[in-house]
Structure 1
């Protein structure tokens, strides 16, 4: 008997949900009121982060993220400068080697490397430097995306009232004239 009741609930559940959807068709837009100080404007947070990295995070009330952002920028700038220094060093050695009358082995900065080895190092350090420029732009973009997403999530309700309730349901069908008996799961959040 219990199995028949469970099967009946799962067969009748789609009919209940379609009726609930028909009742809610009048509500087609969601309006967010920014007059509440806890709800942040995502556009404003993104623009603030675009103008000054970290300003959107401060606007959202997440100032602890600002040192992480500037730490990422500082580390990235250090690696750009380090890779550029190495690139310039090997580029200067390559130009000195290619100069008419070239340098002899004791005068060279890298006596253990031939011309191909110096060219490989020039390309390696230039590629690393250029990739760090892209990483810098990625950190900047991630800063803006984080501010935008955080502002969107500021309207998310994180209350303690998360409950699940099973309740019996009795409804009459208007089209068929019959009655439905079932079990509904109600979630409050």
Structure 2
């Protein structure tokens, strides 16, 4: 009986020892490998926003900016179309009033009925000047809206690029602001001043 207990003890000891050895070997073989962090590319954000406005903002995960971008483009498109329609209208009326053809009189549709005497040359001249000014103003505002929409397009690209540069920027609690007295150099002379350092 005593031999049986010793045999069982030795068997259990060896089995436990081998199990622990196998466990150590298993853990040594499964060292976790860290995946390299995917780099956020400002170049990609710039290209995406240049190809399709708002796509760079989606790449930067700033989804809330996309409706603002397309709302801006819709607003600029409406303003361009509105001013262009008036420009075409005033241009046609102006060309009708300055030509010698009595059948072309679209300018009369723009005048309040009874307020202008078309046989009075001074009133016709005054109305012609007003039409010319209105035509030039509509063209100027249309061109300004085109320039503004091009600037808005460039701003969309700049915004995506800057956001991409700051995508992995560490915003931690370790912000320090130190100021100490220190010399300032002007024309080779040391003057008293304050040295300010901001670390973030």
**TM-score above 0.5, yes or no:** yes
Deviation at 1:46?
0.3
For residue 141 of structure 1, the aligned residue among 135, 146, 154 is 154
Aligned-pair Cα RMSD in Å: 2.9
- Structure 1 match to 2:7: none
How many residues get paired? 136
> Could you say which residue in structure 2 is the equivalent of 1:100?
100
Structure 1 residue 186 displacement after superposition: 9.7
Q: CA deviation at 1:102?
A: 4.0
* Structure-2 residue corresponding to 1:40: 40
Query: Any runs of at least 4 consecutive aligned residues in structure 1 with deviations exceeding 6 A, and if so which?
Result: 103-107, 185-188
Indicate the SS of the match to 1:63. Answer: coil
TM-score by length of 2: 0.60
- TM superposition shift of 1:160: 2.5
Q: 1:126 and 2:139 equivalent?
A: yes
Q: Distance in 1 between matches of 2:90 and 2:76?
A: 21
Q: Deviations over 1:30-75 (max 9, x none)?
A: xxxxx534x5211110000001100000000101100000000000
Q: Which runs of 5+ in 2 are unaligned?
A: 1-35, 117-125, 179-195
With normalisation by structure 1, the TM-score equals 0.63
Match of 1:126, SS? helix
Displacement of 1:116 in angstroms is: 0.7
The offset of 1:156, in angstroms, is 1.6
Matches within 5 A, 1:138-177: 138-162=151-175
* Distance in 2 between residues matched to 1:59 and 1:161, nearest whole Å: 28
Rate the CA distance shift 1:164–1:92 in 2: closer, same or farther, 3 A.
closer
What is the CA–CA distance in structure 2 between the aligned matches of 1:126 and 1:55, rounded to whole Å? 32
- Cα contact 2:96–2:106 (8 A) shared by 1: no
User: What is aligned with 2:64?
Assistant: 64
Q: Which has the higher contact order (CA 8 A, sep 6+)?
A: 1
Partner of 2:52: 52
Report the CA distance between 1:187 and its aligned residue. Answer: 7.6
TM-aligned CA distance change 1:41 to 1:96, over 3 Å: same
